[in-house]
Structure 1
């Protein structure tokens, strides 16, 4: 994953002109702050004019909403990710000072690249104004092509910053541009709470004791799956190393049924070829070197048995 991130580093068609050096990052951050200040001053002027014009009577929240829409049109997801990196991820160094860990930097680049590709495609189609507006996201979803889909796995021991990096940088970036289209999920309720997400069972529409069988859901359950899956642009599966493979297989099938119309999938065979319904960004993280605390076999054990 790190090699892929470094290979993509510097490709403007994927992630824009991103630079690792602190000097360049600081200059970019100062430019963003200056542009934001100018936008805020313009917003204040428009608010005052709106308050003085009693005939028009524009609500102030409408002016603020317009400013946010202009902001997401101007600033790319990659630029916003770099800004959050500077704010959230600098770590103290042994010799003094602070720096962003290289592995977390590369992981953010990989995770934001699919959204950056969609942002560029929306610009070519004249739909960049739909970003940040939940009521217009339907116009963006058809722009997602199979070559935009990013699937990545972030591995590391506990405390290495996997979850922190995703919840503090990646998820907020997607939420800013595609509101309510990002979802965190984990097999266990305790892990799901840490990422403010949900469990596999909820997202798959399963009850606690329901059999893990891949069969076409009922009409009511199908409607629930469409509501939960059709608009997703980011799926973050945490603690994937502790997820039982049968449960993961059911989750993948439910994603296919929920996104069957959006992704143009035909049957269960397509579900296997288009993992998780071709959601724009699919992130899995975990530690396969830790012991599994439950009776179910882990994915690593299944892999060893197949070998």
Structure 2
């Protein structure tokens, strides 16, 4: 048994321990400080991978979050994480909620406002809310997201505001690097320096929301990238439907590479379990386009553990069908 396989068995055993009844650990200290510890881990079986025809059982994600409310309006959080390949710092930020002491100003002008400083998942579109595997109803993320901005996480600052049915986020962060192929087969790179963008959301009706996101990513050597997206979500009864359209364009002197994609996802609540389906399209400039239909189910084993399955069908010869099975546990 090699070291990598042994690690998988050890981590699977840890997941089984995490499945024991538990809750977030909360330690209350003197004054206004409150410290909490939470985390999750998931193991995924994949019927085959692009590099190997053999099945694969591996740790997908594992995160441990330590947070503290240090004052009525100030919270800090840090999350070391395993992403399936290496350890990293997923998030580390300070959050201020209605950070001004002039509460009357905010009650007149904004019903909610906050400031986020540090490392965080950049709030673009809808899918950023599901980056942690414990929160994702399907096992795989949409190709439309991975192929355009790759589940964007960066250091920076974000300002969040909400008034009535309108909400907005402005952020200045690090960007993401990009490598693409031009029409003549040349490989080009964009090494990001910084990015500015935001999202404007509208909730005109209960259970219905619309959003528009955008960002400009400045790269080295006077190369820029542009990211725009539209999203919508409808929740009614047992049905949750959501979708996004995302367009990414990388420009340099005399050349441009455009990737765009969209997905539509529907989730049906079946009591404690659910069924879900997603149609996912990525139009990759210079590469092969991909179209996938994913179908799956999720069955909670107890309040802390869920078992999920997903069958991903490649449509129109854009790859091979793949089956996934996941057990995720969180506390």
Coarse TM-score class (shorter-chain normalised): under 0.3
- Could you say which structure has the higher helix fraction? 1
- Could you say which structure has the higher strand fraction? 2
TM-score (normalizing by structure 1)? 0.26
TM-score (normalizing by structure 2)? 0.25
